[in-house]
Each structure stands twice: as C-alpha cells, then as structure tokens.
Amino acid sequence: MAGLVVSGTQVSYIGQDCREIPEHLGRNCGHFAKRLDLSFNLLRSLEGLSAFGSLEELILDNNLLGDDLVLPRLPGLHTLTLNKNQITDLECLLDHLAEVTPALEYLSLLGNVACPNELVSLEKDEEDYKRYRCFVLHKLPNLKFLDARKVTRQEREEALVRGAFMKVVKPKVSREDDAVSPEHHYTPLPSASRELTSHRGVLGKCRYVYYGKNSEGNRFIRDDQL
C-alpha cells in the first residue's frame, strides 16, 4: 500500500493528500494500531477513525480540520496533536475532547486560530496565550503537557480559581448596527448646522450645565460680566 508505513503498533500515512481516512487503512491496521500519524494530508473529516479503537497517540497536524471535527470515543488516547488546522472555536473543541478522550494528557493546538499566539496573529501576545492555557486547563484538568510545554503547578492552581473566567466572548452585532448604511458618517454637529463655506460658530445643546465652580478662570471675570 503506497505511502503506508507500519512499525510494530505504529502506523503512518503522511502526505498522501487524502481528504478522508481510507477505509482500507482502518480495515488493515485499526485492530492493532496504538499510534496513528495522519499529518500533512487534506483531511476535513475523521470519519473512519472509529476502526482505531485502541489508539493511544493520534497525530493530525497540517490538515484542514475545522470546528466540525468529530472524534469517536477513544478511552485510551493520551496524546493528540492538531497543530496547523482550521480550528477557531476553542470551547466547543475542549468540551468534545473532555467527553470522548477522558485519558488525554498531551494536547497541542499550535497554528490554529483557537490558540492565540504569534504563529496565528501578530496582534496576540504572551498574556493572550496565558489566558488560553488557563481556560484549556480549566476544561481539561488532567493535561500534563499543552502545546509542547509542561503544565506547571501554578498554572493548574490558577485554572481552578480563574479558568472559568478566561473564556473569550465575541461581541454580538445588534440589528440596529447592521441597519446602518456604511455610507453614513458620524458627525458631532447637527446636520443643518452650517454650510461647508460658512465659518461661523455653531452652538449645540447638551444635558450638562457648567457653573464654573473651582475654575481658575473665574478670578478674571467681573461681577458685571456675569
């Protein structure tokens, strides 16, 4: 079978541009494989992975897996790498992993939008990444390694206290905002305040009244000017 490499209980099917897990791969190797490497393919779905029920390590780096990723229940899986895929919804992924991979100890998500670091965006910094780690450890408290970095005792303690508050919430756009025309430009002046060629001042109404209390300028105003 071209591209297939088998060494004991380790199975590799790397760089074959496959869009789904070949049926023959599960049929021939699923019953004995402990480690499966499917990196550098074009996988968008993990259908067919259920044939590998005894997996302990699963490598899925450099594929096209997104937020619709579905893993079968893999009770013995302790290592999962999903580097450089298309995952954006971190909480959805973590909830799914908590359900189907109860023995997971090593997880790597580098290169996904869901993992905020400079590999994805130059706007992200170390503080963004720390908050991300805290939230992941809140959802998956049994992890020992996250993104090739060992989980520290301090991180674990912080996740217990603050992890639930580290979730990133995307702002919702109201319907009123959607209804505003992109051609509408904000102006602080009334629409009929003045012509463009007029240089006269404009007075506007506001809810606040200034009484001049505690103003140094009041020292120079005579009583007859008030």
Q: Which tens digit of pLDDT belongs to each residue from 129-162? A: 999 999 999 999 999 999 989 999 999 988 887 7
**pLDDT tens sequence across 94-135:** 999 999 999 999 999 999 999 987 666 666 677 889 999 999
Residue 158's CB: how many other CB atoms inside 10 A? 17
Task: Specify the higher pLDDT residue, 179 or 140.
Answer: 140
Closest CA to 146 of 80, 100, 84: 80
Confidence bin at 171 (pLDDT 50/70/90): very low
Q: Is the pLDDT of residue 182 over 50?
A: no
**What stretch of H or E contains 149?**
strand 149-150
Which percentage of the chain shows pLDDT scores above 70? 68
Distance CA 212, CA 135 (A): 51
Q: Which two tokens stand for residue 44?
A: 């968008």
Confidence of residue 221 (pLDDT cuts 50, 70, 90): low
What is this structure's pTM? Answer: 0.72
What are the residues whose beta carbons fall under 8 Å from the beta carbon of 213, sequence distance 6 or more? none
Can you state the angle between helices 126-139 and 153-162, rounded to 10 degrees? Answer: 80
Selection from 156, 150, 122, 9 nearest residue 76 by Cα: 9
The candidate with the shortest Cα–Cα distance to 38, out of 75, 73, 85, is: 85
Counting Cα atoms < 13 Å in the Cβ hemisphere of 68 gives 6
CA 155 – CA 72 distance, rounded (Å) = 29
DSSP 27: H
